[in-house]
Amino acid sequence: MHDIRYIRENPEAFDAALKRRGLVAQSPEILRLDGERRASQTAMQEAQAKRNDLSKQIGDLKRTGGNADALMQEVAGLKDKLLVWEAEEKELGAKLDALLATLPNRPAADVPDGRDEHDNKELRRFRTPRGLAAPREHFDLGEALGLMDFTMAARMSGARFTILKGPLARLERALGNFMLDVHTTEFGYTEVSPPLLVKDEAVYGVAQLPKFAEDLFRTTNGSWLVSTAEVPLTNLVNGEILNRDELPYRFTARTPCFRSEAGSAGKDTRGMLRQHQFYKVELVSITAPDQSEAEHERMTECAETILNRLELPFRTIVLCTGDMGFGARKTYDLEVWMPGQDTYREISSCSNCGDFQARRMNVRCRSPGDKATEFVHTLNGSGLAIGRCLIAVMENFQQADGSISIPGVLRPYMDGLERIQVAERK
């Protein structure tokens, strides 16, 4: 949500910022609505003041046994106008909010301008892919091992679901456990086990509503299935005034994520790259306004650490204005090397949302003894997407015979297992 006062005072700067995301100037319409709303608000408030005053007089008269008929008639006359003003103020306010709620966040100054993913900028690369002679894709490897089943998944659940079995199922669990252990014991994140069904307000708070309802699953009683743990983790502070000295808060959770993948028909249809349901370890930070940029770098490094320890080749890019998500001021993506596809694919996205979500959720902070509050900044990042990480491990650690060696850091989580191979038939 945007600060209406900022727009009032800096309409050109506001339009210029959104123009970088390809939007036409919004401030004229916003300022028009805002001006009208304030005018009717003033009128409404004056009428209310008069009504309150007259009502008070009526009260005094009645208590002292006087006749209040004349005054009551006067208020009755006021009332029609008051109702009109009230309705008008409400309608204009709703219109203004509806408009503001559909406008994306202003990009940070240092975000590169661009139209789409082709204009993203690579910042750094880690490791070089080992040259595999004839790399196979993960679904190929998984099915050959007899540990990945798309057919039965489709039969019971439809397209975009996967069944993992045996050591592959365990590998998925190991990845999540490993990530959580690193983030909680080394990086100071607090592990959370949150709800996966949430209400409208929670989804609105992180700016996935009202605009992106079609990407989400909704239950018959109106709850939403979380598309990422960002939703419940960020809502952990909804409506609160936090002690500035206790910030930043750092939360992590491993949860399933549910996405309808509307609009991605035909994209990544094979394998488990793009699913309706996948596990992800999420990182969320709540910071004071002046801390968020440093926290953004830190969070990105936390995610990078996971890939480095898994010995996976990847690169870090900064998204251009045209490729950033709705609520982000600035976003770093980590892209892991996928030998089977011979390309880098997104495995983590770390965003600084500034005060955009905080305004929607009304989350503020203040120093002890201070009176003034300010909106906090929120950040979220994948640390990492577990399903895609599983794919990356399979493809990067595949052996010529179709077996998969297990990265060293995961072996303790796999009961010492060093390699996944075709099980002996019993």
Choose which of 305, 373, 403, 405 interacts with RNA (CB under 7 A): 373
Give 48 or 308: the residue with its C-beta nearer to RNA: 48
Q: List Cβ neighbours of 49 (8 Å cut-off, separation of 6 or more).
A: none
Based on the shown chain and the rule CB under 7 A, indicate whether residue 269 belongs to the binding site for RNA.
no
Determine the Cα–Cα distance for residues 217 and 225; give it in Å rounded to an integer: 6
To the query of whether residue 155 is one of the catalytic residues in this protein, the response is: no
Based on the shown chain and the rule CB under 7 A, indicate whether residue 121 belongs to the binding site for RNA.
no
What's the token pair of residue 161? 């679901």
Stretch that binds RNA, among 58-66, 110-118, 138-146, 398-406 (CB under 7 A): 58-66
Give 46 or 342: the residue with its C-beta nearer to RNA: 46
Shortest gap between Cβ of 89 and RNA (angstroms)? 9
To the query of whether residue 106 is one of the catalytic residues in this protein, the response is: no
Based on the shown chain and the rule CB under 7 A, indicate whether residue 371 belongs to the binding site for RNA.
yes
Give 62 or 121: the residue with its C-beta nearer to RNA: 62
Stretch that binds RNA, among 138-146, 313-321, 369-377, 403-411 (CB under 7 A): 369-377
Based on the shown chain and the rule CB under 7 A, indicate whether residue 367 belongs to the binding site for RNA.
no
Residue with tokens 């830190």: 298
Give 181 or 200: the residue with its C-beta nearer to RNA: 200
Choose which of 49, 98, 144, 262 interacts with RNA (CB under 7 A): 49
For strands 163-164 and 148-149, give the pairing: antiparallel
Based on the shown chain and the rule CB under 7 A, indicate whether residue 62 belongs to the binding site for RNA.
yes
Choose which of 59, 188, 408, 412 interacts with RNA (CB under 7 A): 59
* DSSP string over 141-183: HHHHHT-EEHHHHHHHH-SS--EE-HHHHHHHHHHHHHHHHHH
To the query of whether residue 349 is one of the catalytic residues in this protein, the response is: yes
Determine the Cα–Cα distance for residues 254 and 256; give it in Å rounded to an integer: 7
Choose which of 22, 66, 79, 193 interacts with RNA (CB under 7 A): 79
Determine the Cα–Cα distance for residues 195 and 229; give it in Å rounded to an integer: 9
C-beta atoms surrounding 315 within 10 Å: 17
Give 61 or 132: the residue with its C-beta nearer to RNA: 61
To the query of whether residue 346 is one of the catalytic residues in this protein, the response is: yes
Based on the shown chain and the rule CB under 7 A, indicate whether residue 38 belongs to the binding site for RNA.
yes
Q: Of the residues 160, 259, 345, 364, which is catalytic?
A: 259
Give 296 or 364: the residue with its C-beta nearer to RNA: 364
Residue 233 DSSP class = H
Shortest gap between Cβ of 190 and RNA (angstroms)? 21
Q: List Cβ neighbours of 236 (8 Å cut-off, separation of 6 or more).
A: 192, 194, 249, 251, 284, 286
* DSSP string over 247-302: PPEEEEEEEEEE---TT-TTSS-STTSS-SEEEEEEEEEEE-GGGHHHHHHHHHHH
Shortest gap between Cβ of 180 and RNA (angstroms)? 22
Based on the shown chain and the rule CB under 7 A, indicate whether residue 55 belongs to the binding site for RNA.
yes
For strands 190-191 and 419-420, give the pairing: unpaired
Q: Taking CA 251 as the corner, what is the angle to CA 248 and CA 252, rounded to the nearest 5 degrees?
A: 150
Whether the CB-CB separation of 123 and 317 falls below 8 Å is answered with yes
Give 69 or 113: the residue with its C-beta nearer to RNA: 69
Determine the Cα–Cα distance for residues 390 and 138; give it in Å rounded to an integer: 9
Helices (H), 64-147: 69-101, 138-145
Stretch that binds RNA, among 50-58, 109-117, 283-291, 339-347 (CB under 7 A): 50-58
Based on the shown chain and the rule CB under 7 A, indicate whether residue 84 belongs to the binding site for RNA.
no
Q: Of the residues 292, 348, 349, 351, which is catalytic?
A: 349
Q: Give 52: exposed, middle or buried? Use CB within 10 Å, 0-12, 13-18, 19+.
A: exposed
Choose which of 23, 32, 56, 399 interacts with RNA (CB under 7 A): 56
Based on the shown chain and the rule CB under 7 A, indicate whether residue 41 belongs to the binding site for RNA.
yes
Based on the shown chain and the rule CB under 7 A, indicate whether residue 369 belongs to the binding site for RNA.
yes
Based on the shown chain and the rule CB under 7 A, indicate whether residue 218 belongs to the binding site for RNA.
no
Q: Taking CA 300 as the corner, what is the angle to CA 296 and CA 304, rounded to the nearest 5 degrees?
A: 170
What's the token pair of residue 87? 């309705």
Based on the shown chain and the rule CB under 7 A, indicate whether residue 127 belongs to the binding site for RNA.
no
To the query of whether residue 259 is one of the catalytic residues in this protein, the response is: yes
Q: Give 132: exposed, middle or buried? Use CB within 10 Å, 0-12, 13-18, 19+.
A: middle
Choose which of 45, 157, 367, 399 interacts with RNA (CB under 7 A): 45
In the complex, the residues that contact RNA under the rule CB under 7 A are 4-5, 38, 41-42, 44-46, 48-49, 51-56, 58-59, 62-63, 72, 75-76, 79, 90, 364, 369, 371, 373
- Give catalytic residues, as residue numbers: 259, 274, 346, 349, 388
